Amino acid sequence: MQPIERIKEFGGWLNRYRHASTACGCEMTFSVYLPPQAETGRVPAVYWLSGFACTDDSARTRIGAQRDAAELGLALVMPDTSPRGAEVPDLPDRDDLGQGAGFYVNATQSPWETHYRMYDYVTRELPALVEQELPLMTGMRSIAGHSMGGHGALICALGNPGMFWSVSAFAPICNPSLSGWGRQCFSAYLGDNRENWKDYDATCLIESGASAPPLLIDQGTDDEFLADQLHPENLKAACERHGIPCNLRMREGYDHSDRFVATFIGEHLAYHAKALGLMRDG
């Protein structure tokens, strides 16, 4: 881990790092916010996954999570959304496929399979790295995300029972096998056999018996992508059929933007802090 930036915020430190990733076969950049409590001991972490066309910088500059994280004693781990670099395949005229749109899967198709392994990066390589090098509690972690990152948070939690103590999402792509975004990314990264898509589709994972902590999902009613891309009703129905608690909150008038996330990010971090034992009822 090579530190490349350090900024004091709300009594803690917003740090940015670069490292050589084995999973992605390239140099990766990520950010970590360490709350003031990390000066005197180890703290639990929330992993935040961003959406299309974002980087690690998007979360730390747009959604205002650091103030709440400082008050709650939570670290924030904010990875990039895909591998990057001159050697990494890309479609420069697209923001929904290629660099910036890794979709949090392990690609199996050429030319993507060597570098586009964001699932392993988020669930294996990055947690092992930061929990070794930073004052984070080993194994005490939760996960959240927005849009494509909300999809990533759901599938990482569903595919790795016990790894994350809680999971939440804003406007996630809940059933990507049925959405335009999901179909194009899955076809490119995973091939045309739709059976292979199910391992990275939250609704399909639940239908196949995957377990997870209770799900917290916020969805804006004025989200321009709600009808065609997100399908939260499918996820909710699958959870009801399989006994997984899912608190789907339809937020009247809110859209798909970072301003929607910023409005409710404090509630999500409090939800994770409670699951991680930092808060108690009353």
Catalytically active residues, by annotation: 147, 223, 256
**DSSP codes, 212-280:** -SPEEEEEETT-TTIIIII-HHHHHHHHHHHT--EEEEEETT--SSHHHHHHHHHHHHHHHHHHTTS--
To which residue do tokens 């045309």 refer? 192
Q: Which residues contact 270 (CB under 8 A, 6 or more apart)?
A: 68, 72, 279
Strand positions, DSSP E, 2-69: 2-9, 12-21, 26-34, 43-49
- Strand ranges inside 25-165, DSSP E: 26-34, 43-49, 75-79, 136-146
Tokens of 150: 């909300």
Cβ neighbourhood burial of 109 (10 Å; 0-12, 13-18, 19+): middle
How far is it, in rounded angstroms, from Cα 73 to Cα 246?
Answer: 26
Q: Which residue has the tokens 């404090």?
A: 266
Buried b (16+ CB within 10 A) or exposed e, 194-220: eeebebbbbbbbbbeebebbebbbbbb
Place of tokens 């979360």: 59
